[in-house]
Copies of this chain bind each other. A is one copy, B any other.
Amino acid sequence: MIKVSIIGAASYAGGELIRLLLAHKEVEIVHLTGNTYAGQDICAVFPYLQGGIQREIIALTQENQRQIIADSDLLFLIMPHGQASGMAKDILAAGKKAIDIGADFRFADAGVYEQWYKVKHQAPELLQEAVYGLPELYRKQIAAARLVGNPGCYPTATILGTYPLLKAGLIKDNSVIIDAKSGISGSGRTPSSLNIYAAASQNMKAYAVAGHRHTPEIERIFSDISGNAQVINFTPHLTPMIRGIHSTIYADLRQSIDGEELTRLYKEVYAGETFVRVHDHGSWPESKWATGSNLCHIAVTADQRSGRVIVCSVIDNLLKGAAGQAIQNMNLMCGFAEDTALPLTPVYP
């Protein structure tokens, strides 16, 4: 039985962490922090929890941070960019573990982080120790880690969808184009002119074209897999659905290979992976096949006319793309069965 706290609980990822942890028999939630709702019960934020949990949201302050850390074995950090790196130092100094749901520990190089995120990194000395929390690629390192940088939602779907190609050396350098579609919950709980219903419903739009911050994160891991630096094109689109990432990946094949063979390769690579489901050639995954679960569904084909490979990879951005993957990482870091409390079936339709 371990004790965990959630820093930034009044977020969608925080809500999903609470849902999953309430069903996790080896974990006790000790603290929930938040600024906007400090002093209120978590049920004021998520009224559907009434009857399921009672817990006051407390403000995180310089005064109580030490106590919050002392009371916890592991902390989930959902904080503005640049703040988690500061807190992580104190968590590790106190001998506790941390999983950062934000971007502070997704990069090996503080310079890249600071260039794309426009904030100062407060603990560059921890970047070498921090592990990129994608268990399908870095399971052993995660199991041994004190500090995990939980991957972004787009990178999770995209890296899982491209990994077999890069590992097998099948595609040309710098040829990957990623056209990604995300549900609106990816923009968080803060109301804005972009995410209000009347604007976002019945609408599709690209954003952050040629400049989204998940670009260098994907490039880092692509380079790590392939062994040489990779430049990609990454274009995210706001899609009128609450949850879901659908990543469509295009790349130039080095040699002719057909879709059936590619599918076999993918099935081999992911054999034994609980959460990755490679579908038969010709069956294309729907983003909804992952909703509410920790699954990643993938399919692949080759277009013989153009010599390109096309992959579709889908996840639930709040689960495998955030809270679910964080629990998966926690399970590994704490020695629990990797799938404990993680839904293996989506809520469909």
Binding site for B on A (CB under 8 A): 12, 15, 18-19, 22-23, 46-52, 174, 177, 179, 181, 183-185, 189, 191-193, 195-207, 209-210, 231-233, 235, 237, 239-244, 246, 248, 250, 277, 279, 283-293, 295, 297, 301-306, 308, 310, 312, 314, 344-349
Contact = CB atoms under 8 A, between A and B. Distances in A.
Contact of A237 (B210, B246, B295, B346): B246
Contacts of A202: 183, 201-202, 241-244, 288, 291
Nearest to A208: B284
B195 A287 contact: no
A233 B297 contact: no
Interface-central residue, A197, A207, A243, A306, by most chain B CB under 10 Å = A197
A226 to B, nearest CB: 16
A266 B8 CA distance: 34
Contact of A47 (B183, B198, B279, B312): B279
A52 B275 CA distance: 10
A47 B288 CA distance: 11
A250 B206 contact: no
A6 B191 CA distance: 27
A289 B239 contact: no
Contacts of A51: 277
A258 to B, nearest CB: 11
A191 to B, nearest CB: 3
A98 B235 CA distance: 41
A207 B284 contact: yes
Contact of A344 (B15, B52, B237): B52
A58 B288 CA distance: 26
A209 B250 CA distance: 11
Contact of A242 (B48, B197, B345): B197
A304 to B, nearest CB: 8
Given A179-B179, A201-B201, A291-B347, A50 B277 contact: yes
Interface-central residue, A204, A210, A239, by most chain B CB under 10 Å = A204
Interface-central residue, A207, A248, A290, by most chain B CB under 10 Å = A248
Contacts of A192: 191, 196
Contacts of A204: 181, 239, 241, 244, 246, 286-287, 314
A192 B184 CA distance: 15
Given A48-B297, A181-B204, A284-B207, A303 B233 contact: yes
Given A235-B310, A237-B248, 20 more contacts: A47-B289, A177-B250, A179-B248, A181-B181, A181-B204, A183-B202, A189-B193, A196-B196, A197-B242, A201-B202, A203-B288, A205-B285, A205-B286, A205-B312, A206-B310, A206-B312, A210-B303, A233-B303, A240-B241, A347-B347
A181 B248 CA distance: 11
Contact of A349 (B50, B177, B185, B295): B185
Contacts of A289: 47-48
Given A15-B348, A301-B210, A196 B198 contact: no
Contact of A191 (B193, B233, B235, B243): B193
